[in-house]
Amino acid sequence: MKSFPYATPYINDVFTKEEQRFDYIYLRPMLVVLAFFLRIIAFPVKFLIHRRPYGFEARCIDGVLAFGMKYFASHDAVELMVRHIQIEPLLYRHLLWMSGKEENPPSPPRKFNGINGDFNLNSLSEMIRNNLTIGHDQLSYEMIERFDRETFIKSLHEHRKRVPEDHTLFSKAAMEVTKQSSLQWIGCTNVVIFIVIAITLFADLRTAVKALNSFDSDALLLWAMQNLYIHDGIVSTDLNFYLPDNSNRGHFSSGVFSTNPILYLQNHIAFDEFAYHILRERPPTSP
């Protein structure tokens, strides 16, 4: 197993297995090329005839992904996606606590929608009924809108006493379907690429652009983590490896034609896993 010191043991293990998979070696390059050319064709067409949603888009996206998860995705890929769906809102809830814009969840909480929503994944059919993919991408924009910098800075001492909620308390029953039915052909990297392809194909122009560029909250999470761990040199050093690799280090925003779907694993999912693991296992200390 590879052992990158700035990644969690779980992510190191997943990525080590991933690089040995047949589909990673042979299918991934073709899918990357397909995704690139698909954008070149799809976005001009969407600009002409599909700027606004017609109403079927979310169900198509989640229907295709649920089908792929059930019959083709590897168990490791499904587990990573389910963990991410549940861990990301828990991180955002943690940062919004005492931020000045914390909100009580609706009763009952919306399924898979909103930072305070219900993220128990009991079945794949729930994904389709509740627009999981688009709802998940909207979390980034909700986080940016609700976060208050000054209140967070004033509450740093209180934040350092808390840990995020435990994601294992959420139901992951839908994962059992993969064990029973899946051919295990598609690994983590290609699952992410297929998600990008599904969004590119079915989403309207505005939704597709927002979904493929919904990573500004990563910059906010990185900023918050650096403030929380400013007195912990080891964690601060690890966090430096999650800075954007472009010269503009102010945010993660980039155009839909310049984003690389393969890097979503390293720049987004792996970072959320690291932040969650550190906050749970090595709570920040006050000076």
* Structure-token pair, residue 89: 């809102």
Q: Give the per-residue pLDDT at 152.
A: 92
Provide the b/e sequence for 26-62 (b: ≥16 CB within 10 Å).
Answer: ebbeebbeebeeebeebbeebeeebeeeeeebbeebb
Provide the b/e sequence for 83-99 (b: ≥16 CB within 10 Å).
Answer: bbbbbbbbbbbbbbebb
What end-to-end distance do the CA atoms of the chain give, in Å? 36
Q: Give the per-residue pLDDT at 262.
A: 76
Model pLDDT for residues 58-93, shown as the tens digit of each residue: 999 999 999 999 999 999 999 999 999 999 999 999
Q: Give the per-residue pLDDT at 78.
A: 96
pTM of the predicted structure, to 2 decimals:
0.92
| Nearest by Cα to 43 from 259, 215, 206 | 206
Question: What stretches in the chain show pLDDT beneath 70?
Answer: 1, 98-107, 244-258
Sequence-separated (6 or more) residues with CB below 8 Å from residue 275: 91, 221, 225
Distance of alpha carbon 7 from alpha carbon 163, whole angstroms: 19
Distance of alpha carbon 156 from alpha carbon 152, whole angstroms: 6
Q: Give the per-residue pLDDT at 263.
A: 77
Longest dimension (CA), the chain: 57
Q: Give the per-residue pLDDT at 212.
A: 85
Q: Give the per-residue pLDDT at 248.
A: 43
